[in-house]
Chain A
Amino acid sequence: MPILKDDPEKPEEGRQEPADVIVLPSGAEILSLDDILKTELFDDVEEKPVRAVLQRFKKNWDEYPPIWRRTFEDGDIICEEGDFDQTAFFILEGKVSIYIAAQLGHIESKTRKRKGILGFFRKHTTAFSRTRKDDSLSDETTRLSIPTDSPIDLAVDDPVGYLHKGDLFGEQTCSNYLPRSATVKAVGKCVCLEMIAPVLRAVKENSPRFNEEYKDRALKNHLMNVPMFSGFHDEVFDFLKDKIELVTKYKGEVIFREGEKADAFYLIRSGFVKVSQKKPGGETVLKYMGRGEHIGHIGIIQKTPREVTCTALNTAELVKVSEDHFREMLAEFPEVNKQFYRSSNKFQALNAALAQRTQTFAIRNFLDQGLMEANNLLLLDLEKCTRCDECVKACADSHDGVTRLNRVGLRFDKYLVATSCRSCSDPVCMPVCPVGSIRRRDTLEIVIEDWCIGCTKCADACPYGNINMHEMESPDSGADEEEAPKKKARAKSKAITCDLCTDAGGDPMCVYACPHDAAHRVPRDQFAEYFPTIFDQSETSTVRSTKVKQKQKVKG
């Protein structure tokens, strides 16, 4: 694995630190600076600034070059999903296939499949169970494809694609230290340039051709993935082609703020954008948006100021469509207009519901345990709990035999805050996923989609240890590996977390199965009922009295 040396852009806290020295991969061919500049990557690039960047590495060029050439034979793996590399690739010759090798699907336990009479009984009675739909089949899913770290996205049902001469992949791995999002394999002989972040940035900043190509490809790709444009992709593309602007926002830069005038619509090309809102209890992160998603249409459609603040979480590339052009487009395509209208209405209804939920409380030591971060807690009343484990068994029963709940965790008052997802206000697990498989439902629950590649980033990121990695039992392990590339399933682990059993409707299974009335799933607005001691009485009463006043005003 090549390791980066002396990168000016410091990685975020908690992310993988680049090492100090490059270890060149075997088979790397070191080219001289002039030879490098003659390659196709630098065809239309302004030479002077790029040369200046490359000159910085001149001193140790033979040992630690910033860019080198590699040749792959047919079937060679160029990079594997989940690997923590720090380089990007540019294809000079040949063709590569890009695919998700991890098996799609969620964790199931084999031990659950019992034999004998009980097994027979189970097998023939599953129809009676409160059914859980597959996580990924939820209506709320807007993704039609799996985002990858390359110019193309992969279809969820058939995650294989091809990249050709002149394509660049691995940009996110290179500039944002995310693990590789997909596996890339050479198809026939293939020659690539592999580079580290400073070179990649220099090329992108100084190449008009790259920007042009990006515009075309990025836009086309995005439009394919925005459900609202379904049926009009090509027309919309032709219409918008000359009207867009490519914007890059670096970590922490605000794209637009709550309360500002809505002046543009954005499609996210790469990176992550945090969508947050000021709430009485502090900032609440509503969503993390990633590649292929869009922001900023609501303000334009509703002709209202921005209702959320959008901030770039890491280097984010956006396709910007100004207000006027967006309106023109809506006028041109009434079907698309209708779709956007529907989406903005949905958001507003949701927003109103959430606003009711997030009431304010005066909080003291509650904060110490990070409980206020939570939107939903699983509390076990230890005065009633007989430790019969019915909740854990029920969780396992409803999630294919693998429990997502551990009856351990920190204690607060007489409650055990069990290790199960808290639907945090700021779900730090979401932006670290390289394939965008962690999603927040509209009702704030966290869901991990089936295309998880098992890179463990989310499990490491969760401060409460509520995401577990579980070995995936691969049904066709040992099958013929030479067939299609996606058949090359490896026994890999996948991340699992509590989904609050929302698909089954009603109470979560753990609460439903507790015979002692000890398990409670408590949404944020009911925290005060469960922890009366920590909420400042005087302040809650002021909240109440202001509410009464408001009611009286309304009546008056």
Chain B
Amino acid sequence: MALIVTSQQRRNALLTGLALVCFMILYIGYVWRDPLGPRGGSWPGIFFGVIAYLMMLFAGFLGVRKKVRTWPLGKATFWMNGHIWLGLLSVAVVFFHTGFQFGHGLALVVMILFLISIVTGIYGLAVQQFLPRTMLKQVTSETIFELIPDQVANLKSEADDLVQTVCGNVEANLEPRSFLEIKNENLEGGIVIFEVTPRQGFPVGRETNLPFPAINSSLAPSHFLIEKKDEGFQIRTIAPKEERDRFPLKVAGEVVETADLPDRTRIQAGDYEFEFQYAPPIGAATLKGYYLEKIRPYFELWPSRETKTRFRSVEDIHNCFDHFRKFLPQGSFHEVCNNLSLLCEERRQLILQDRLHRWMHGWLIFHVPLSIVLIVLTLVHAILALWY
């Protein structure tokens, strides 16, 4: 990634370079003429020290400017440019002041603080140059940093809802319940669809041949539809014509289109008799188990390292879900899987955003307090040095 270089930055760089050359000439002249060699205590040394301190003060003023945003102190960009370029220039000036020595005692402490401030500053400059672009490219579903927890909570409830459409309440256990039990519950909405299980004559253990595939009102085609009618429920054939012949709905041996359900929970369909039950469809247990164990933890605010590693990249997410899909029946389950993978991708981006954001701003925790201590200690150092 290239640096973003604007004409203004080019001009600033040029000015800094010029200033550097001037200071260098002064320094060389001073070293040349002074028999004792370069040192902080000489007049030219003090000159360089004062210049360096003024630069530090100027750089530090950015912090003040940020606290009084509405004051007419000039644009924040001006102060930021000064902060960066004078900060960089100050390194040379400080070394001219010390004659490339580290000193001892307080001077050494100040020097170390100064170097740490500069190093953290340069690190910050670098991350703030490059990471915004990484963020722009890789985090397309960026949100405001402070809102990430809310967004994660939203994703979690969305994922729960998705899984619930095919598996029922994610927090409830998966035991099938009989139809008679469920019909007394308050069911919202117009259409309710139940899974049916074969009771008579149906080859046990061949679930896949059930005439009622994974059933859900919105996600899968279904052969029979059970609707809430007045007091009870009604079953209706909704399969396409060719399928209808294969699985006709029969009540007392007669083929019908609709039949009431309240008294009759056993229905003949095709050659078989079924008892209607509200039961999780095939594959529900698998999906729910996997979801609860592997996916849902990812939607926690602080997911475990293991979970994060599972969905490290877009490819990881794809592979994971591709593999998982093989264990699920086609149709609604696959659709849920697709949507879950999208949610996981969004979560992954939020984790990335969180990390990038911390990188971009975390270094300030060191840079700012150290700089403040530096400015204070430098003043103490100057006073003490001049006093004695």
Q: Mark B46-82, 1 if CB is under 8 A from A, else 0.
A: 0000000000000000100010111110011101100
Is the CB–CB distance between A390 and B136 below 8 Å?
Answer: no
Is the CB–CB distance between A387 and B70 below 8 Å?
Answer: no
Is the CB–CB distance between A388 and B68 below 8 Å?
Answer: no
Interface segment among B23-31, B110-118, B127-135: the answer is B127-135
Contact of A129 among B70, B133, B357 (CB under 8 A): B70
Is the CB–CB distance between B136 and A414 below 8 Å?
Answer: yes
Contact of B76 among A128, A406, A514 (CB under 8 A): A514
Give chain A nearest CB distance to B127 CB in angstroms: 9
How many angstroms from the CA of A125 to the CA of B66 in the assembled complex?
15
What residues of chain B have their CB less than 8 Å away from a CB belonging to chain A? 4, 6, 8, 62, 66, 68-72, 75-77, 79-80, 128, 131-133, 135-136, 143-145, 357, 360-361
Q: A512-B76, A515-B76, A517-B77 are in contact. Are A390 and B66 (CB under 8 A)?
A: yes
User: Is A143 an interface residue when CB atoms closer than 8 A count as contact?
Assistant: no
How many angstroms from the CA of A406 to the CA of B131 in the assembled complex?
22
Is the CB–CB distance between B132 and A383 below 8 Å?
Answer: yes
User: Is A36 an interface residue when CB atoms closer than 8 A count as contact?
Assistant: no
Across the A-B interface, the 10 shortest Cβ-Cβ residue pairs: A515-B80, A129-B70, A515-B76, A394-B69, A382-B136, A513-B69, A517-B77, A386-B128, A128-B71, A397-B69
Contacts of B143 in A (CB 8 A): 408
Number of interface residues of A (CB under 8 A): 31
Contacts of B360 in A (CB 8 A): 386-387
Give chain B nearest CB distance to A415 CB in angstroms: 10
How many angstroms from the CA of A527 to the CA of B76 in the assembled complex?
24
Is the CB–CB distance between A384 and B70 below 8 Å?
Answer: no
A131, closest chain B residue (CB): B70
**Contacts beyond the supplied A383-B4, A384-B132: 14 A-B pairs with Cβ under 8 Å:** A128-B72, A129-B68, A129-B70, A382-B135, A383-B136, A385-B132, A386-B360, A387-B132, A394-B70, A512-B75, A513-B76, A515-B66, A515-B76, A516-B77
User: Is A113 an interface residue when CB atoms closer than 8 A count as contact?
Assistant: no
Contacts of B131 in A (CB 8 A): 386
Q: What are 14 A-B contacts with C-beta separation under 8 Å?
A: A128-B72, A387-B135, A387-B145, A387-B357, A387-B360, A388-B361, A389-B145, A390-B66, A390-B69, A407-B144, A509-B70, A512-B69, A515-B80, A516-B80
User: Is A205 an interface residue when CB atoms closer than 8 A count as contact?
Assistant: no
Contacts of A511 in B (CB 8 A): 75
Give chain A nearest CB distance to B256 CB in angstroms: 39
How many angstroms from the CA of A407 to the CA of B147 in the assembled complex?
11
Give chain A nearest CB distance to B146 CB in angstroms: 8
Is the CB–CB distance between A386 and B80 below 8 Å?
Answer: no
B128, closest chain A residue (CB): A386
Say whether chain A's binding surface is mostly helix, strand, loop, or mixed: loop
User: Is A547 an interface residue when CB atoms closer than 8 A count as contact?
Assistant: no
Is the CB–CB distance between B71 and A130 below 8 Å?
Answer: yes
Give chain B nearest CB distance to A79 CB in angstroms: 37
Give chain B nearest CB distance to A400 CB in angstroms: 11
Is the CB–CB distance between A129 and B71 below 8 Å?
Answer: yes
User: Is A507 an interface residue when CB atoms closer than 8 A count as contact?
Assistant: yes
Q: A514-B76, A515-B80, A517-B77 are in contact. Are A130 and B136 (CB under 8 A)?
A: no
User: Is A487 an interface residue when CB atoms closer than 8 A count as contact?
Assistant: no
In chain A between 114 and 154, which residues have their CB closer than 8 angstroms to a CB of chain B?
125, 128-130
Give chain A nearest CB distance to B165 CB in angstroms: 29
Q: A387-B357, A414-B136 are in contact. Are A408 and B70 (CB under 8 A)?
A: no
How many angstroms from the CA of A515 to the CA of B67 in the assembled complex?
12
User: Is A486 an interface residue when CB atoms closer than 8 A count as contact?
Assistant: no
Contacts of A492 in B (CB 8 A): none
How many angstroms from the CA of A507 to the CA of B76 in the assembled complex?
11
Q: Mark A510-549, 1 if CB is under 8 A from B, else 0.
A: 0111111100000000000000000000000000000000
How many angstroms from the CA of A393 to the CA of B68 in the assembled complex?
10
B66, closest chain A residue (CB): A390
How many angstroms from the CA of A514 to the CA of B75 in the assembled complex?
8
User: Is A398 an interface residue when CB atoms closer than 8 A count as contact?
Assistant: yes
How many angstroms from the CA of A516 to the CA of B145 in the assembled complex?
18
Is the CB–CB distance between B357 and A130 below 8 Å?
Answer: no
Give chain B nearest CB distance to A395 CB in angstroms: 9
Is the CB–CB distance between B75 and A397 below 8 Å?
Answer: no
Contacts of A130 in B (CB 8 A): 70-72
Contact of B75 among A407, A408, A507 (CB under 8 A): A507
How many angstroms from the CA of A414 to the CA of B133 in the assembled complex?
9
Give chain A nearest CB distance to B294 CB in angstroms: 31
Is the CB–CB distance between B144 and A125 below 8 Å?
Answer: no
How many angstroms from the CA of A203 to the CA of B86 in the assembled complex?
78
